[in-house]
Amino acid sequence: MIKDNQKMFNRLHVLLDGFIIVLSYAVAFELRFKYLNFLDFFRRSSVYYLPLHYVAKELIYLVPVYLIIYYFCNLYSPKRGSSRRFELWNLTRANALGVLFFMFVLYLTNRPDFSRKFIGVFFVVNIAFGYFFRNMLGNILRIIRRKGFNLKHILIVGYSRAAEYYIDRILANPQWGYYIHGVLDDNMEVGTSYKGVKIIGPNSNLSTMLLENTLDEIVIALNIGEYSKLECLVSTCEKFGVHTKFVPDYNNIIPTKPYTEDLNGLPVINIRNVPLTNTLNKCIKRIIDIFGAVVAIILFSIPMIIVSAIIKLTSSGPLIFSQVRVGLHNKEFKMYKFRSMAVQKDSEEKKAWTTFNDPRVTPIGKFIRKTSIDELPQLFNVLKGDMSLIGPRPERPFFVEKFKEEIPRYMIKHQVRPGLTGWAQVNGYRGDTSIRKRIDHDLYYIENWTLGLDIKILFMTFFKGFVNKNAY
């Protein structure tokens, strides 16, 4: 039933998208030539534009091409469990390709009379309308699924931590429309339940269940010690033609998103996906780091000069304090800061955290630490290549040696350049806060890096990242 519903839903979705494209085209025309005439304010000649019925001829090829692009951009794949942000990205990507195609056709057909500004307005309007209608449709489906309609019936085979994690997420999101009939497992007693989902028999009952029930999906979530059964279970599912998913029980080994590569026909799973190991990504990030550091040094030059003068006048010792930290590929480097503490012996400084009302902190030091002004000299570390503007904060060698034994996955943070600010810092994990939480946020950043995430962290730093309540 769910498959028939999905086919019907997809056909309706295609028709709706076709209507939205035509509607967006008409609205864009009205906006561009009747409400946005100020765009042509500085033109000396009168504004001339083609009538709508003439311009609308382009829709004959535009609508089918857009729908094909939508298909290849995964806009008609099942939406259960997918995020709205991902939907918006696919919609934007599809429209960008559509506009490129549109402009290419206009170039080939030599249409200098066609308004390029209209195409830009159409691009924005079509994304806005498409996203609005898709969200509206998604909300309607969520309401329907919450009420028990349009459900996808699933059976879990194997009880493990992975099965529990899967059940947790399904129960926490009833709008996804999944109904779990139960769990088959060879080790658990029949009748045992987890959050209301019961063990209903051994794995050998799978064939019987497939014969007697109309199941949409089988989810295999075997314990890692039972993977020898996997081939037989998959074979049984494929024999009955049922859609099968595999939830691996290796969260303690591969805790986040792995990725696969094809080694001449052999699938190879990479334990960890680090986007910044990609040469292009590294180059883009480095260019932005250099440009950003130069601009920041110019902008903050006067505050840095004032702070330098106050430090020199209020306490004896060097202006800049350099401290050995561990950076990219576990290499040590000297990280610069404005000195905020009284001069102390290296042996004492290396092994001690700064504490509340620490007597070593100077009066100006309290202020510059609280406002993160003491970190500004690290802009020169960025220029040197020791650091990045955004990334995990670097730690001292003594603590690195300590934490790598105590905290799983701690050393992964050294696969990227450390940063002035990072995902952990803008989420409040600075100074004397949980190291484990900090590492969790650092790993999220490392494995989910995008240019957009860097920009988001930068904005969050400006709005709530400079003042550090945990800085003593």
**Cα 271 to Cα 158: distance, rounded to the nearest angstrom:** 24
Q: What is the pLDDT of residue 353?
A: 53
Q: Is residue 18 part of a domain?
A: yes
Same domain, yes or no, for 136 and 188?
no
Which residue is listed with tokens 């029949």?
190
Q: Is residue 270 part of a domain?
A: no
Neighbouring C-alpha atoms within 13 Å toward the C-beta of 328: 16
Same domain, yes or no, for 69 and 124?
yes
Torsion angle, alpha carbons of 213, 214, 216, 218, to 10: 20
Same domain, yes or no, for 163 and 141?
no
- Asked if 18 and 67 touch (Cβ cutoff 8 Å), the reply is yes
Q: What is the pLDDT of residue 348?
A: 54
**Cα 70 to Cα 95: distance, rounded to the nearest angstrom:** 8
- Asked if 338 and 410 touch (Cβ cutoff 8 Å), the reply is no
Same domain, yes or no, for 333 and 375?
yes
Same domain, yes or no, for 137 and 162?
no
For residue 61, what are the domain limits? 2-146
Closest to 335 (Cα-Cα) out of 378, 290, 300: 378
- Looking at 146, 166, 188, the residue that finishes a domain is 146
Buried b (16+ CB within 10 A) or exposed e, 349-366: beeeebeeeeebbbebbe
Q: What is the pLDDT of residue 318?
A: 85
Same domain, yes or no, for 218 and 359?
no
Q: DSSP for 290-337?
A: HHHHHHHHHHTHHHHHHHHHHHHHHS-S-SEEEEEEE-GGG-EEEEEE
Q: Is residue 262 part of a domain?
A: no
Same domain, yes or no, for 205 and 290?
no
pLDDT along the chain (472 residues), means of 10: 56 87 89 66 51 77 91 76 75 91 85 79 92 82 68 90 90 81 92 91 91 86 90 89 86 68 79 84 93 94 91 84 92 91 62 59 79 90 95 92 86 92 87 81 90 90 64 52
- Looking at 97, 116, 146, the residue that finishes a domain is 146
- Asked if 247 and 166 touch (Cβ cutoff 8 Å), the reply is yes
Q: Is residue 274 part of a domain?
A: no
- Return the H-helix or E-strand segment holding 362: none
Residue 107: strand, helix, or coil: helix
Same domain, yes or no, for 302 and 431?
yes
- Looking at 121, 146, 171, the residue that finishes a domain is 146
CB count, 10 Å around CB of 251? 14
**Cα 201 to Cα 183: distance, rounded to the nearest angstrom:** 7
Task: Give the pLDDT confidence of 74-118 residue by residue, as tens digits.
Answer: 888 765 556 677 788 889 999 999 999 988 888 888 877 777 788
Q: What is the pLDDT of residue 96?
A: 92
Q: Is residue 311 part of a domain?
A: yes
Q: Is residue 158 part of a domain?
A: yes
Same domain, yes or no, for 82 and 23?
yes
Task: Give the pLDDT confidence of 130-159 residue by residue, as tens digits.
Answer: 989 888 877 777 777 666 666 788 999 999
The CATH number assigned to the domain holding 208 equals: 3.40.50.720
Number of domains comprising the chain: 3
Same domain, yes or no, for 313 and 215?
no
Same domain, yes or no, for 190 and 285?
no
Q: Is residue 260 part of a domain?
A: no
Same domain, yes or no, for 142 and 163?
no
Q: What is the pLDDT of residue 2?
A: 44
**Cα 389 to Cα 393: distance, rounded to the nearest angstrom:** 10
Q: What is the pLDDT of residue 4?
A: 46
Q: Is residue 269 part of a domain?
A: no
